[in-house]
Amino acid sequence: MIVCVVRIQPAGGTQMSTFTGNVIILTGASEGIGRALALALAPQKPKLVLSARNRERLESLAGECHAMGAECLAVPADVTDEIQCRQLIRQAVDAFGRIDTLVANAGATMWSRLDRLEDLGVLRTVMDVNYFGAAYCTAAALPYLKQSRGRIVAVASVAGLTGVPERTGYSASKHAMIGFFDSLRIELAESGVSVTVVAPDFVVTQIHRRALGADGRPLGETPMHESRIMTAERCAALIVDAMAGRQRLLITSRRGRLGRWLKVLAPGLIDRIARKAIEKKF
């Protein structure tokens, strides 16, 4: 665990001061969207609680955010472990006295048709990280978020809004996430706590290289044509805006927004679009 404190004047502007002094817990912070999000928020001088499994990458990121104006607490944790999730929340409260925002971003993915999946444990692994990890952290943080009338931000996926071939376990876990947070939003309607669900389309991140294949082992290389998909930095910028506005749902691509309606109006068409996207790898 490291704590970094700096004093740098904010850049100015209403939007740039939304999260000044805000205590933000960010899971899955060491790479990809999580890392980009931490760096996007840091100039606003929040109090960032950065969590992931890799201590070295977390501490490197904390140093970068420190240099940009944030106070940082790095807490290595595995979100699939309920006890570690509760310890993460406790360390944040012990360090900063409150929680204003929880960003449930930690994620895992897979690439395999179900009929070629040799290790069905892949399905449980992805569900444990994406759904249970988000649920554990949220349950532990909720009493403090109610006190601050804070924000919950759940980074799901467009795969949580429609079916996606070769990603059955991943899509299922993100459907579960969206159902969980949509239901929680209703429960929290009178509490002042907002719930923002983020549904990114394909984004350039390391998660694709670590995707579990049919044998249950990481692919080691991305199956995506990365030059054709959104950068993590662009995705993070969109998320910061959605967080600031307490937006209900952010879908980061026109294809994703169109697909949400086509699923109702022309379900066969959205199935073909999803199949084509996987075949073309973007």
Residue with tokens 């429609």: 162
Residue with tokens 């467009």: 158
**Side-chain-side CA neighbours of residue 98 (13 Å):** 13
Of 131, 136, 144, 170, the catalytic one is 170
Residue type, 180: F
Concerning whether 170 is annotated as a catalytic residue, the answer is yes
User: How far is Cα 121 from Cα 117, in angstroms, rounded to an integer?
Assistant: 9
Residue type, 201: D
- 241 is written with which tokens? 């805006």
Tally the residues of the chain. Answer: 282
* Residues labelled catalytic: 170
